[in-house]
Amino acid sequence: MDEKQFVIERVDHIAEDVVSLRDRIFAYAELPYHETRSAALLCRVLRQYGFEVTEGAADIPTCFYGVFTNRPDEGGMTVGFLGEFDALDGLSQQAGCAIKSPVTEDAPGHGCGHCCLGVGALAAAVALREYLIAADKPGTVIYYGCPAEEGAGAKQFMARAGLFDRCDFIYAWHPSDRNMVDSTHNNAIMGANFYFKGRASHAGATPYLGRSALDAVELMSVGCNYLREHMIPEARIHYAYIDAGGTAPNVVPDRATVRYEVRAPWVADVKELYERVVRVAEGAAMMTGTTVTPELAMAFTEYLPNLALSPIVSSAMEEIGAPVWDESDFALAKAFLESYDDDTKEVIRSELRKSFGEDWKSRWERPLDTEVKPFSPADISFSAGSSDVGDVGCAVPCVNLLVASACLGNIAHTWQMCGQVGSSLGAKGMLTAAKMLALSAIRTMAEPDAVAAAKAEVVARNGGHYVCPLPDTVKPPIDTY
């Protein structure tokens, strides 16, 4: 059997249904932990393809997984695929429209491409299932429905519950502007809500009797701003006001809540930085005569590509090749690229010069990646972002693929990305990713020594078992984060 041709034909055979599924998830655009329609739809499709589905996994209502086993009495490897399907608040955008045009003003939108991500991974799982049947080979395929990557995450809770333990390896992908194995070392991250309590009073008549929780939040911000000078340069501190204590200026607010997230290259670094932020909060409470209760809600382990499996994945990606673009795709990508403001475009130009040298101008005119960049360990570089895929890779061998689904230089978490992933660009990237994932899995299942080396790599990293960066007492913050 020509495995590459089989994968291409199977994905192409279901392509129309796959794109239709993408369109529905794109339209639902549901926020983290509340992807009820998206999860239900994906579960229904899995069952239609013969997967046994378990819903409500890891104590998260929209978390699920589907399992298919061929020739169960003969063992075989177990392969996992990760699917995400949550959207981002405020990024609603008409699919394929390069002028800001929300479907619904201020509504959620798929500004990180998860409408394509989850559906493309499902198509890969279906293709691998059909390959095992056609080739009459033993093996198990598991599709993991992972909610809330844009929120407090799910994969760390799933890993803590042992959902990934049965897999020999797990593959994932993400819409990008390039075609390559994800060669980043992403930051670990921790996030918490800080609940300040004070004492209300009349701000004009008796302000001296009040103890302002809002003052405490403001002082915490000042303290964290001073802290920034005294942390490693790779670290980050972010915050958002969740509850400013009301809207009446003449009332001393007796409550206020602020959310802080801290990032650093390793879990140990991020835990230390988080504790320093907690002490800043406690100091702010002391200064204002208030109290503070930190509620740790989220934490992701840093992501690193598995070195034993990345070359296999990279080779399979090259076999499949980059998405095949037509002239209308290049024109659409150029329109989206030109839609960015002048400052952003100048940054993009600088990045393209670094990547393509003198050829950057032609890339600007036809801004879609047409090649697959081979993997090299020397290319692994630090990225300040974070993903709960890191927790998967700390539990079992895991590799993340990046597949072009938007213009070169695309900025994630924007209406521009939302518009692109809902268009032909996203569809072609998604279908190509499905083929790459499925072929990568087939190639890896034929390399038991590489899988053994990949597992040894994980053990060297985690000491023999996965340790969640969150204590067991922290439950998925479904309605609080």
Mean of all residue pLDDT scores within the chain? 97
Q: pLDDT tens digits for 175-185?
A: 999 999 999 99
> What type of residue is 1?
M
Write down the pLDDT at residue 75: 87
Q: What percent of the chain lies above the pLDDT cut of 70?
A: 100
Q: pLDDT: is 61 or 479 the higher one?
A: 61
User: 187, 188, 259, 181: which is closest to 220 by C-alpha?
Assistant: 259
Helix, strand and coil percent figures for the chain, each rounded to 5: 45, 20, 35
What are the domain boundaries of the chain? 3-186+302-462, 188-298
DSSP assignment letter at 374: P
- In CATH, the architecture of 3-186+302-462 is 3-Layer(aba) Sandwich (3.40)
Q: pLDDT tens digits for 320-363?
A: 999 999 999 999 999 999 999 999 999 999 999 999 999 999 99
Q: Which pLDDT band, with edges at 50, 70 and 90, does 1 fall under?
A: confident
CB 116 within 8 A of CB 38: no
CB 432 within 8 A of CB 322: yes
Report the C-alpha gap between 270 and 190 in whole angstroms. 7
DSSP assignment letter at 458: H
What is the b/e burial string over 225-260, where b = at least 16 CB atoms within 10 angstroms of the residue's CB?
A: eebeeebeeebbbebeeebebeeeeebbbbbbbbbb
User: 102, 119, 124: which is closest to 170 by C-alpha?
Assistant: 124
Handedness of CA 13, 421, 428, 185 (dihedral sign): negative
Q: Which pLDDT band, with edges at 50, 70 and 90, does 190 fall under?
A: very high
Report the C-alpha gap between 451 and 336 in whole angstroms. 41
The H or E element that residue 445 is part of is helix 424-445
CATH T-level fold of 188-298: Alpha-Beta Plaits (3.30.70)
Q: pLDDT tens digits for 48-93?
A: 999 999 999 999 999 999 999 999 989 899 999 999 999 999 999 9
The residue with tokens 């070359």 is 311
Return the structure tokens found at 373.
């960049």
CB 47 within 8 A of CB 57: no
Asked whether residue 481 carries a pLDDT value surpassing 90, the answer given is no
351-360 own/partner pairs: CB under 8 Å, 24+ apart = 351/409, 352/408, 352/409
Query: In the chain, what is the greatest distance between 2 CA atoms, to the nearest angstrom?
Result: 85
First to last CA, the chain: 49
Q: pLDDT tens digits for 14-60?
A: 999 999 999 999 999 999 999 999 999 999 999 999 999 999 999 99
Give the other-Cβ count within 10 Å of 92's Cβ: 21
Report the C-alpha gap between 5 and 121 in whole angstroms. 18
Report the C-alpha gap between 20 and 43 in whole angstroms. 15
